[in-house]
Amino acid sequence: LSESGVPQLVQPMIWDYAADLDVEGKVRLVEKYRRCGFSKVWFASAFKGATGANQSLTLIGHHLKNHLQWLEVARNSPADVLEGIALTGWQRYDHFSVLCELLPVAIPSLAVCLQALKNGGYSEKVKENVEKLLGMSNLETETFMR
């Protein structure tokens, strides 16, 4: 890769939607990209649509854990290597699949994930802020919202 000149032309994106992603493995991957000459990398997470092809409701806790893990990767990587994080929201798994998790049911998950990234973590204060922003009295992250 170093000799190809590709690192001067593109920025790689590391995708992982798991709630228990391998933080150490991702940090090593970032370091490998850096050694190959890539000055910046992107991370890709999901706030919806990554937990099952026929999922109709969003389990916020899964996506929140994923974002908290990405924050941990960022904290353990060189400070200047992260260009950004793409919060994906998949609508279907392929063009022949049914739609999954329509956007309206996933807006609380998007709000939680964005606030967690903005604040560098998730706390009761962040939760209260999301509830206030969305006009909700009880944000549930470990069960499906009703």
The CATH number for 15's domain is 3.20.20.80
Q: Which two tokens stand for residue 74?
A: 């960022």
Integer Cα distance of 64 and 142 in angstroms: 10
Give alpha helix (H) positions in the chain.
Answer: 23-35, 60-75, 103-119, 124-134
The reply to whether 26 falls in a domain is yes
Q: Report the relative pairing of strands 82-89 and 13-15 from DSSP bridges.
A: unpaired
Q: In 3-state terms, what secondary structure has residue 136?
A: coil
The reply to whether 142 falls in a domain is no
The reply to whether 38 falls in a domain is yes
Q: Which domain holds residue 69?
A: 6-134
Query: Could you tell me which residues come within 8 angstroms of residue 5 by beta carbon, excluding any fewer than 6 positions away?
Result: none
pLDDT at 145: 59
Stated length of the chain? 146
The reply to whether 78 falls in a domain is yes
pLDDT at 131: 96
Residue type, 19: A
Structural domains in the chain (count): 1
The reply to whether 83 falls in a domain is yes
The reply to whether 139 falls in a domain is no
Q: Which two tokens stand for residue 104?
A: 């309206």
How many other CB atoms are found less than 10 A from the CB of residue 80? 9
Radius of gyration of the chain (CA): 17
The reply to whether 32 falls in a domain is yes
Per-residue pLDDT 10s for the chain (146 aa) are 889 999 999 999 999 999 999 999 999 999 999 999 999 999 999 999 888 887 888 899 999 999 999 999 999 999 899 999 999 998 887 888 888 888 999 999 999 999 999 999 999 999 999 999 999 988 988 877 55
The reply to whether 143 falls in a domain is no
pTM of the model: 0.91
Integer Cα distance of 123 and 120 in angstroms: 10
